[in-house]
Amino acid sequence: MQKVINCAAIFITTVIFSFSDLIPGFDYKNIHLNRYGKSIELDIFKINPDSIDVDIINLDRNKTIKALLEEEGKAAEYFLVCNAGMFDVDYKTSMGYMKKNGKVLNSKDHPHYHSVMAFDPLLPDIPSFYIYDTDITPLDSIISIYDSVIENLRLIKRNGQNRWPEQSKSWSELAIGQDIYNNILIIYCHNSLSMFEFNNLILSLPLELSTVQHLEGNTPAQLYFKIEKYKIDYDNGEYVPNLIGFKPKKF
């Protein structure tokens, strides 16, 4: 289905696919629009966190994201895999705090990141997946109630606050966020924008965004989606040690 929206001088073309018959609450949008004197393309994956399981995947040095999803076995269960966040010069360690299934992979709390995604809850009455602002909810209190935690650089604070100043530096962007209903949004922007511009752009779209954090930029920002006959391949062949994988929940 294609939907064309005219908003003043802005021309937006949105191609929408619903995969709810395969994964409840899963939809995909491809958006083309003119902004900042550029023709901009965005891929947006919306996922109901109650319908999926999220895993941190530590990738072998000789594998690509695409190879992971196309191999036989456990990894073939994932329908979407992307960067989990920026990594250090050792090509292994996450730049922020990371805990996977109760095992701490990096104990460093980055002083300037201010955003944490948390999943695998240890208590029954908390969200299955939630992005917290650590200047509001301290990291120590989050890691005590979730078994898996990833700390990344904040782009948009909850309630839709752009936290970046105007700047000249720009890059293409892979980001993860939540809308006001706490759906997960994976956003892949193909064009180089400053983060101030990127934040204002996505906040202006009818996505009902609440919060967003940075995963990676430029060529290292990679994503691979495959479900039945549908495939989106943004594997640039660069090694990514830490990934987030999404797979349907088994009830």
The predicted model gives 86-110 an average pLDDT of: 87
- Binned at pLDDT 50, 70 and 90, residue 251 comes out as low
The pLDDT, as a whole number, for residue 75 is: 54
Residue-number span of the structural domain to which 168 is assigned = 2-248
pTM: 0.91
The predicted model gives 217-234 an average pLDDT of: 93
CA distance 198 to 204: 10
Per residue in 181-204, pLDDT tens? 999 999 999 999 999 999 999 999
Strand intervals (E) in 74-162: 80-83, 98-100, 103-106, 114-121, 129-133, 146-157, 161-162
More confident residue, 89 or 116: 116
Domain count, the chain: 1
Cα dihedral 225→231→232→236 (10° resolution): 80
Asked if residue 7 has pLDDT above 70, the reply is no
CA distance 102 to 74: 20
Which amino acid, residue 90?
A: D
Per residue in 38-57, pLDDT tens? 999 999 999 999 999 999 99
Q: What are phi and psi of 222, to 5 degrees?
A: -135, 150
The pLDDT, as a whole number, for residue 72 is: 57
3-state SS, residue 200 = helix
Do residues 99 and 105 make contact, with C-beta atoms less than 8 angstroms apart?
A: yes
